[in-house]
Structure 1
Amino acid sequence: MSAPDPGSGPSEWSVPGQVGVGPWEGPWPAGEHWDPELLEHGDRRNVVDPYRYWRREAVAADLARRAHPFHVAIENLGHDHNIGTVVRTANAFGAGGVHIVGRRRWNRRGAMVTDRYLSLHHHETASGLVRFARERGLALVAVDNLPGAVRLEETTLPRDCVLLFGAEGPGLSDDARAAADLAVSIAQFGSTRSVNAGVAAGIVMHAWVRVHANLSDAW
């Protein structure tokens, strides 16, 4: 990809509190990944600076190229509002894909448009997710306070895996629990039975990153 000409670059927004950058100043950079409309009008999207002015498809393709070998799955049994948060966090940690198990429709507000840059999959039942994992050699890791679950803090997550989270409230379905190759729980010290599903997903993804990710690739 070509570098922009010296002396060219983004302009700052003049509106206080405006997110993003203004129209590109100077000659436009060359390359298929640049978006002419964003170069002309500015880029207000919630993306890191290296992706400013890039076409959405180009951002998604680059993220796929850099993706980690873990996937994230969450059961959607009752239009769970936490799914958007899980998707946004999966984007931040470079997940290889996100899987919605159960209902196809989910509240996307919490995703903050990050779902447009990820590989999204839908499975009607847990068996569909299990088949996806088995065909690709991915270990299925259930995250829940289950009998026999090992503490996340005392184990190492598999490198190639699917991190599976249950719906808020009921937790993982019986089928998902039965199919798991490994079950992990998060150490807690308060009165609540479990932490929010979106929070749990962030904790577990970060645990994977600490062990397996190349931190030199982080922004």
Structure 2
Amino acid sequence: MRLFFSCLFLISFFNVFSQEEKPQEKPVIKIDSLYREDQFYFTVGYNLLTQTPEGLKQDKFSAEISAGFLRDMPINKKRTVAIAAGLGLTYQNYFQNLTISESQDGTLIYGVNDYNEFVSNKYRQYLVDLPIEFRWRNSTYESHKFWRVYAGLKLSYVLASKSVVDDGENTYIVRNNSDINRFQYGATISAGYNTWNAYLYYGLNPLFKDVKTVSGESVKMKTMSVGLIFYIL
């Protein structure tokens, strides 16, 4: 009988001891870190002119350099689709044979000349940009190396412009040409992996307002840029 009560006491003791033990809680894993792809961008491109007057040709390398910042605003739970808007600056130059000279009364004269009729001819402009993008990427908060396709619209305002023509005898300089469309806009698309991405801009409105060459042809050419865009977090 004494042995029976001793066993019963031991069983009760171990039962109470086992009830006091609590299972170890599993760590909570954070799935969504609410990250954003806020990014600085840097673009290097080659400028092209489309819908040009007859006989207009480009010469040398017409370059575009731009930089700015974009604010990323995801619109889905996985944060792989977003809208972004930002602010940037752009420098562009164009080497071509559309010359801009000035008559004695101050009237601007536009002409498409052969390259043997002048020594050099260049147009350049500086713009402030407002890029707006619709974004898709397969990124996660754990990795910033991913595929992306960003498409949108870039609104620009020409802060300053300058054209220089040297015909060997005279140099014609026109600053802030009033015939230039100060407000310019176009469609953009960029696609690639990680930092390296191809970039395309196509202007939707003409570079010049309603101007004509000395031959009477309207100048309705638009701008286009092809190059690389680098996104830096």
TM-score clears 0.5 = no
Q: Give the TM-score taking structure 2 as reference length.
A: 0.18
Bigger fraction of residues in helix: 1
| Bigger relative contact order, structure 1 or 2 (CA pairs below 8 A, ≥6 apart) | 2
* Bigger Rg over Cα: 2
Bigger fraction of residues in strand: 2
